[in-house]
Amino acid sequence: MNTEITYAQSLDEQDELKSFREEFYISNDLIYFDGNSLGLLSKRAEKAVNTLMESWKKHAIDGWSEGAHPWFYLSENLGKMSADLIGARPEEVIVTGSTTTNLHQLVSSFFKPKGKKTKILADELNFPSDIYALKSQLQLKGLDPEDHLIQVKSKNGNTLETQDIIDAMTDEVALIVLPAVLYRSGQILDMERLTKEAHKRGILIGFDLCHSIGSIPHQLADWQVDFAFWCTYKHLNGGPGSVGGLYVNQKHFGTSPGLAGWFGSAKDKQFDMKHTLTQAEHAGAFQIGTPHVLSAAPLLGSLEMFQEAGIRRIRKKSLELTNYLMELIEVELADDGFKIVNPRDGQTRGAHIFLEHPEATRICKALKADSVIPDFRNPNGIRLAPVALYNTFEEVWQMVQILKRIMKEESYKKYENSRGVIA
């Protein structure tokens, strides 16, 4: 293992995506490894917001039909720009709502308990918001979550076994909702196999793509995944609270939305103002309310970059960055008590690594004091996400050297062993 800075610099020289770093607002005094929580602002995203602001200024209400990006069709156009990232047909994708709102919409549309098929299958490692939504959807149907929500157990607290999930697909399960990538450990679930096994048993299945969209390729249409949903402020760099997205396989077009709203209308019928919904004949039917135009605007610029870079090139560099990071940690921090608990295999590892350490809280505080931005996960986890579009191999090298010094000097001990309100 070459641990010299010159090796990292040589990798950066060979990086075919290196020009994209110039597209982002990056502080030279900061190493930002938290792009899996909130991506950085790009100049194109900023320009796109200004363009939409200008259309409001110039056209007022006519901005719905005029200007560079008419607002009436914005959600559909952003859906088309997102489709290749998840391996979907353009008409299967819509940019709308938020992660949890879209999950509520999809579960209310596709969870139809009947006979003994009355249960939802999830897992115990998913992000809490998904579980809250699933429990509330069960309650809305008069079902007790204690009895009707099955959560697959993890054998090690960090990853899930594919066979354990399949074994939980009993004849009582009507719907499955799982993360594509586990938010803590970064494990990629085998979406293709899980979908195939679910459909063998007559079960619909959907995935939360929050930690996978923009970081790994998908083939949702080919795999026949029934639905998916995601946020856009992590790897897609859409900004805090940017508008989410959802995918519905074309075989489900015509399904009535569980939560109907006027933006789910067919475009040519929407302003007829009838009290009977004529729903769109594509994923747009699952929209609820008026698009959040200014919160969707950054995606016009951000998704343009993804189209240029290509998700496969992004994935290739991402794997190289995380491989290099893990190798450096194992060599440079071998005696410092860090445990790498994310999957090592690139086939099952997402775009971040996950370290465990008994002093994780204080170590994260020390890193931030030394101008490195990690992500702490209670009780003892440190997530590090070198992002392919804007992080460098030299930054990976620098971060490990800073962490090595923190551990050698024990400078983390001057911080309290308690997390902040936001971790």
Q: Which residues pair with 403 in a beta bridge?
A: none
Q: Count of CB atoms within 10 A of residue 96's CB? A: 31
Q: Which residues pair with 95 in a beta bridge?
A: 245
pLDDT at 422 over 90: no
- 184-239 per-position pLDDT tens digit: 999 999 999 999 999 999 999 999 999 999 999 999 999 999 999 999 999 999 99
- 149-175 per-position pLDDT tens digit: 999 999 999 999 999 999 999 999 999
**Rounded mean pLDDT, 407-422:** 88
Through-space distance between the first and last CA atoms of the chain, rounded to whole angstroms: 33
Give residue 417's pLDDT.
84
Q: Quote the pTM value.
A: 0.97
pLDDT at 48 over 80: yes
- 51-82 per-position pLDDT tens digit: 999 999 999 999 999 999 999 999 999 999 99
Distance CA 347, CA 345 (A): 5
**Annotated binding site for pyridoxal 5'-phosphate: which residue ranges?**
99-100, 127-130, 208, 211, 233, 262, 290
Domains in the chain and their CATH numbers? 5-32+310-414 (3.90.1150.10), 47-309 (3.40.640.10)
Give residue 1's pLDDT.
84
Angle between helices 74-86 and 293-309 (to 10 degrees): 30
Chain mean pLDDT for the chain: 97
pLDDT at 419 over 90: no
- 328-384 per-position pLDDT tens digit: 999 999 999 999 999 999 999 999 999 999 999 999 999 999 999 999 999 999 999
- 392-406 per-position pLDDT tens digit: 999 999 999 999 999
Give residue 273's pLDDT.
94
CA dihedral (5, 306, 88, 262) positive or negative: positive
Give residue 423's pLDDT.
67
Give residue 418's pLDDT.
81
What is the SS3 assignment for 421?
A: coil
Among residues 63, 210, 248, which one has the least CA distance to residue 128? 210
Q: Any residues with CB less than 8 A from the CB of 289 and at least 6 apart, and which?
A: 261, 262, 263
Give residue 316's pLDDT.
98
- 134-144 per-position pLDDT tens digit: 999 999 999 99
149-152 and 119-123: which strand pairing? parallel
**Annotated binding site: which residue ranges?**
99-100, 127-130, 208, 211, 233, 262, 290
Label residue 420 by pLDDT band (50, 70, 90).
confident
> What does the DSSP 8-state code read for residue 174?
E
Chain centre to alpha carbon of residue 288 = 21
- 274-289 per-position pLDDT tens digit: 999 999 999 999 999 9
